[in-house]
Amino acid sequence: MKRPVQPALAFAGMLVFGVVWGAGPRAQAPQPSPSIDDVIGLKRVGSPALSPDGRLVAYTVREANWDQNAYETEIWLAEAAAGEPRQLTNAPKSSQQPAWAPDNHTLAFISDRDGRRQIYRIDIRGGEAEKLTTLEEGVNSFAWSPDGKSIAFTAQDPVTDAMKAREKRWAEVELEDEDQRYTHLHVLDLASKKARALTSGAFVVGAFDWSPDGARLAFDHRVTSDPSDGGSADISVVDVASGTRTAVVAQAGPDANPRWSPDGSRLAFQSSMAKPFFYFQNSVIAVVTPGQAKVESLTDAFDEDPSLIAWTPAGIHFSASQRTYTALFTLDPASRNIRKHQAGDTWIAMQFSPSRDGTRVAFVASGPSAFPDVHVGAVSALAGARRVSDMQAQLAAFPAHAREVIRWKSQDGAEIEGVLHKPSDFQAGRRYPLLVVIHGGPTGVSRPQPYASASAYPIDAFLTRGALVLEPNYRGSAGYGETFRSLNVRNLGIGDAWDVLSGIDHLVAQGLVDGSRVGSMGWSQGGYISAFLTTRHADRFKAISVGAGISDWMTYYANTDIHPFTRQYLKATPWDDPKIYADTSPMTYIKQAKTPTLIQHGDQDARVPVPNAFQLYQGLRDQNVPVRLALFKGFGHGLTKPKANRAAMEQNWEFFGKHIWGETATSK
């Protein structure tokens, strides 16, 4: 059922507008090995969950169901010490978020097999999964109580009677910023199978954690689910028996993701420490004693954004990016000393799940030649962790392309890193065409991993075709500290372009790249930078692909669901400083444009609304620039179905095939 079917080339799931690039029969493009469908169809692991005793690890495996045009996920189980993994669930749709009961042999998980996301549990020793909830709105997330007798979960409130009455009278009318629905915390008693709400009111519950004695739940909450209100997050504690809620942290700025200390006396959490929330600034791990006002920051000296995992007897565990790699850290809350646990110098380790005592951990790791797999090992010796899954075997027949991290100086002297992909048959002394793939964010980061791209850009197929691929970690990228992430404040597009162009110049100077055969592409912020390049630096590129990119910051500001983004990066609204909005907008330079451009955009995108795509498209048409706009019908900011990913990748394959390799293509 989930085996890919090789299709005729078609632009599925969208409307296509544009011009014809070539006439006559379509040239036969060389077939990449592996195919685009092969890369999309690779099984990928995630969500490792180590049993409390550290003996077993559950994890998910995602694969493409081409018949249903969906990605489906099932749960697998492996011994931490030895043996082969086995599949635990096998049902329609997906089973996700495995979590162990304290007894070490019961797993709960969320599945949409019956249409909505509900909680199920299964005994790993045998038997069928049992459905535990039947909520109309489904379940967001959940956690076992320490005694295993209850499960706490969050769920969105049902549609109110007032909303139903208005819909009946007015039909499809939405009142912006008024139709708020909230998410609240509930507890399910497993003996009676009855659930009751623990919180109510005009706020949205996010992350939560049981106290070690099971008497309380700490949780973060914000005023609405609007992404613009993320900075309003505070922390409270609710008494499970009575439902009494007590505010614990209510300072300015976001305070979120609470985790109890092993003795239940304190809470660790991520915080801006009463400072205004800015996307490019570090947060810290702070601690507080419920009932006391003092909030203490523990990681001021750590120059990155820590992601809090758990507080165990071994210390406070968190993860963080370290340039192009990632690592696990343990913080001693008394001394504030931080120990780094890295699986290897070039390992990308993430999704950590520690044992109850904090001495062992399950995680997903990959590297320049290693596909992501689940590993289990001692926290103190991650380099010796055992690989318990074998997704790497899927690459056995694939070309072994090389990936390396390179560095160069940007126009203003800033040091920039990037991931350079080389084809498996790379020849020194040859100048290759170059394709630049720019990550989103801007606080994303590109990492050296094989066959990682399965969304819009067929990186590995480009390598097989005979190109080099550069993924620049331009200013603003995560992993390089707060100062670096702040370098594009009031410098969006401008400084980012310096970093991309200087990287190209660096490779040309090294004799690796043919500077007359360069293309660029990217999604979200990467799409914005590509749009900036196609208008302001048009003479440098043979072709540019813009995925969900910003064309005009004023249009973006007025339409996006995260209005604070531009206010923070440009330090103004468009009404306060129209010049900075113009200087950093691709549309300002549209009269200079001449590079053939492919635009790809979801027509339901709330993060980068689709008017940005139409502005760039019409502007390029007015300049008689070859342009094509592909609207992905029903999609938001990302492409989440395999056929849409296939369409986007094939479009880019053909587009750059024409303009970089000189092949003929026609619109369909």
Residue 161 pLDDT class (50, 70, 90 cuts) = confident
Q: Which amino acid is at 573?
A: T
Is the model's pLDDT at 385 over the cut of 60?
Answer: yes
The answer to whether residue 105 sits within a structural domain is: no
Quickly state the pLDDT bin for 208 (edges 50, 70, 90).
very high
Q: Is residue 241 in some structural domain?
A: no
For the segment 636-656, the average pLDDT, to the nearest whole number, is 96
pLDDT, mean of residues 213-219: 97
CA-CA distance, 1 to 564, in Å (whole number)?
Answer: 44
Which 3-state string (H, E, C) describes 51-109?
CCCCCEEEEEEEEEECCCCEEEEEEEEEECCCCCCEECCCCCCCEEEEEECCCCCEEEE
- Distance separating alpha carbons of residues 236 and 213, to the nearest angstrom: 17
For the purposes of burial, counting CB atoms within 10 Å of the CB of 192, is it exposed (0-12), middle (13-18) or buried (19 or more)?
Answer: exposed
**Buried b vs exposed e over 270-285: b needs ≥16 C-beta within 10 Å?**
bbbeeeebbbbebbbb
Average of per-residue pLDDT values in the chain: 90
Residue 366 lies in a domain: no
CATH number of the domain that 629 lies in? 3.40.50.1820
| Rounded CA separation 88/601 (Å) | 37
Binned at pLDDT 50, 70 and 90, residue 665 comes out as low
Residue 246 banded pLDDT, cuts 50, 70, 90: very high
Kindly report, residue by residue over 89-122, the tens digit of the pLDDT.
998 899 999 999 999 999 999 999 998 999 999 9
> Tokens 């990155």, residue?
304
Q: Judging by beta carbons within 10 Å of its beta carbon (0-12, 13-18, 19+), is residue 5 exposed, middle or buried? A: exposed
In a domain, 419, yes or no: yes
Mean pLDDT for 478-503 is 94
Average of per-residue pLDDT across 648-666: 88
* Percentage of the chain modeled with pLDDT above 70: 95
pTM for the whole structure: 0.91
Asked if residue 418 lies in contact with residue 406, where contact means CB atoms within 8 angstroms, the answer is: yes
Q: Are 653 and 36 in contact (CB under 8 A)?
A: yes
Spatial strand order in the sheet of 95-100: 95-100, 106-111, 118-123, 130-131
Percent of the chain, pLDDT > 90? 80
pLDDT given at position 175: 75
Q: What is the per-residue pLDDT for 179?
A: 73
Specify the pLDDT at position 2: 42
Q: In angstroms, rounded to a whole number, what is the distance separating the alpha carbons of residues 197 and 240? A: 10
Handedness of CA 446, 440, 155, 205 (dihedral sign): positive
Q: What is the pLDDT of residues 397-446, one digit of tens each?
A: 899 999 999 999 999 999 999 999 999 999 999 999 999 999 998 999 99
* 209 within domain boundaries: no
Q: Is residue 626 part of a domain?
A: yes
Following DSSP, what letter does each residue of 209-277 receive, concatenated?
A: EE-TTSSEEEEEEES-S-GGGGGG-EEEEEETTT--EEEEE--SS-EEEEEE-TTSS-EEEEE-TTSPP
Please check whether residue 288 lies inside any domain of the structure. Answer: no
Residue 532 lies in a domain: yes
CA dist., res. 576 & res. 196, Å (int): 48
pLDDT above 90 (res 375): yes
Question: What is the count of structural domains for the chain?
Answer: 1
Residue 429 per-residue DSSP state: T
Structural domain of 562: 14-34+397-661
Q: For 3-57, how does the pLDDT look when each residue is reduced to its tens digit (9 = 90+)? A: 333 332 222 233 333 333 332 333 334 444 789 999 999 999 999 999 999 999 9
Output helix, strand, coil percentages for the chain, rounded to the nearest 5: 20, 35, 45
Q: Which residues contact 335 (CB under 8 A, 6 or more apart)?
A: none
From the list 641, 633, 649, 563, the residue with the least C-alpha distance to 34 is 649
* Residues shown for the chain: 668
Q: Is the pLDDT of residue 456 over 60?
A: yes
pLDDT score of 370: 92
Q: Which amino acid is at 125?
A: R
Largest separation between any pair of C-alpha atoms in the chain: 76
Asked if 436 contacts 504 with a C-beta cutoff of 8 angstroms, the reply is yes
Please, are residues 389 and 357 in contact by the beta-carbon 8 Å criterion? no
